[in-house]
Copies of this chain bind each other. A is one copy, B any other.
Amino acid sequence: MKQSMAMIGLFTLMSVTTVQANIWQALPEKAPAPKDNPTTAAKVELGKTLYFDPRISSTGTVSCNSCHNVMEGGDDSRPNSMGVNGQTGGRGAPTVWNAAFYSTQFWDGRANTLEDQAIGPMTNPIEMGMKNHDLVMQRVSKMAGYQVMFKKAFGNSDMSIDQAAKAIAAYERTLITPNSPYDLYVKGNKKALTAQQVKGMNLFADLGCASCHSGPAFNGQANVKVGTPVLMKFPTFVDNSYVSQYDLASDKGRENVTGKAEDNNMFRIPTLRNIAVTAPYFHTGTVKSLDEAVKVMAKTQLNIDLNTSQTNDLVAFLDSLTGPFPQQTMPRLPVTPGKSVITE
């Protein structure tokens, strides 16, 4: 087999096996930031404002937060997302919570960084629908409030799309949820989990779930260089009724990016953080409940048929990966007094 994304998945699998002793890790209190975009308060505030601004979509109705709602689980509770003019995409929106701990972005890893990802949906015709990034920045640049915020964040008057991307990414790096019951448990508070949750936690390791869902974010990407996709074939085992029932194999995944047959059905390993509050499940959004999602995963990825008791224990454990979500203040969106920037 040539070097392929499948190899990267396999490599991750092996590396986890060798660090078994250290399998349970708490989420860091701070997300890593790239050297060229250190997280600052001014950038975070600007990024939050842009993140909540629907006026950077063609219709003025869709913001980043529309599909990645930080007041919820960082997604939109829908099987697929709804962009401008009621259009729907083909995949479910991944949660923005802890996206900072991924080595690549999107279900197919087609963006290397949070910065790259942030500006993608703006010009996607079925997401935010702007014709190009210049038009995005034309709108933003008109607003005096944004002029001040960009200057404060970057020290110059460029107001470029790259700066917007950096600001949004800086904000997203604050959207992390350390100190879940699981984290407290790992840090030594043995009362933080119930007996059933501990049972589920051990089962999670014993069955092999942690082969892929490893590390503090349960996404196998803890020590992986940013820009390196960590993927797995989903579904791996196709001889079961779930594949057709939930239409798991139609989306070619990474193959759509690389054009290589070996990347067929390859997807980024998603974090399990806050999985209990991000239904419905999978890139398809076709599986409605977490218990069903757990059974589907066991069957399609490990060829295991879970019994009800095992499923319940695993779900109880996954529940321990939720929150706590930091309280946030609402941004105040800048204006152009006496005019709207929405002109379409």
Residues in chain A within 8 A of chain B (CB atoms)? 52, 54-55, 59-61, 66, 69-73, 76-78, 82, 84-87, 276-277, 279-280, 288-291, 315, 319, 322, 325, 327-333, 335-343
Apart from A279-B339, A288-B343, 5 more pairs, CB < 8 Å: A61-B78, A84-B86, A279-B336, A288-B340, A290-B338
On whether A337 and B72 interact (CB within 8 A), knowing A327-B329, A329-B330, the answer reads no
Instruction: Give the docked Cα–Cα distance between A330 and B69 (Å).
Output: 11
Query: In the complex, what's the smallest C-beta–C-beta distance from A325 to chain B, in angstroms?
Result: 6
Once the chains bind, are A335 and B55 in contact (CB under 8 Å)? no
Residues of B within 8 A of A73 (CB): 335
Query: In the complex, what's the smallest C-beta–C-beta distance from A223 to chain B, in angstroms?
Result: 30
In the complex, the chain B residue whose C-beta lies closest to that of A82 is B61
Residue from the list B84, B277, B337 in contact with A290, Cβ < 8 A:
B337
Once the chains bind, are A339 and B288 in contact (CB under 8 Å)? yes
Once the chains bind, are A277 and B60 in contact (CB under 8 Å)? no
Mostly, the A contact residues are loop
Query: In the complex, what's the smallest C-beta–C-beta distance from A272 to chain B, in angstroms?
Result: 13
| Highest count of chain B CB atoms <10 Å: which of A72, A329, A342 | A72
Once the chains bind, are A342 and B77 in contact (CB under 8 Å)? yes
On whether A277 and B59 interact (CB within 8 A), knowing A78-B342, A86-B87, A87-B86, the answer reads no
In the complex, the chain B residue whose C-beta lies closest to that of A293 is B338
Once the chains bind, are B86 and A339 in contact (CB under 8 Å)? no
Once the chains bind, are B338 and A276 in contact (CB under 8 Å)? yes
Residues of B within 8 A of A338 (CB): 276, 279, 289-291, 315, 319
Give me the 5 closest cross-chain CB pairs, A-B, nearest first: A86-B86, A290-B338, A85-B86, A279-B340, A77-B340
Instruction: Give the docked Cα–Cα distance between A72 and B72 (Å).
Output: 21
Residues of B within 8 A of A328 (CB): 329-330
Once the chains bind, are B333 and A72 in contact (CB under 8 Å)? yes
On whether A276 and B66 interact (CB within 8 A), knowing A328-B330, A329-B328, the answer reads no
In the complex, the chain B residue whose C-beta lies closest to that of A325 is B332
Residue from the list B78, B280, B319, B339 in contact with A337, Cβ < 8 A:
B319
Once the chains bind, are B333 and A330 in contact (CB under 8 Å)? no
Query: In the complex, what's the smallest C-beta–C-beta distance from A276 to chain B, in angstroms?
Result: 4
Instruction: Give the docked Cα–Cα distance between A78 and B58 (Å).
Output: 11
Residues of B within 8 A of A339 (CB): 279, 288-290
In the complex, the chain B residue whose C-beta lies closest to that of A75 is B340
In the complex, the chain B residue whose C-beta lies closest to that of A285 is B340
Instruction: Give the docked Cα–Cα distance between A329 and B71 (Å).
Output: 11
Once the chains bind, are B71 and A52 in contact (CB under 8 Å)? yes
Residue from the list B78, B86, B341 in contact with A340, Cβ < 8 A:
B78
Residues of B within 8 A of A337 (CB): 276-277, 290, 319, 322
Once the chains bind, are A330 and B71 in contact (CB under 8 Å)? yes
Once the chains bind, are A335 and B61 in contact (CB under 8 Å)? no
Residue from the list B76, B335, B340, B341 in contact with A60, Cβ < 8 A:
B76
Residues of B within 8 A of A291 (CB): 338
9 A–B contacts, CB within 8 A, in A order: A55-B77, A61-B78, A61-B82, A71-B330, A78-B342, A279-B336, A291-B338, A319-B337, A325-B332
Residues of B within 8 A of A290 (CB): 337-339
Residues of B within 8 A of A331 (CB): 71
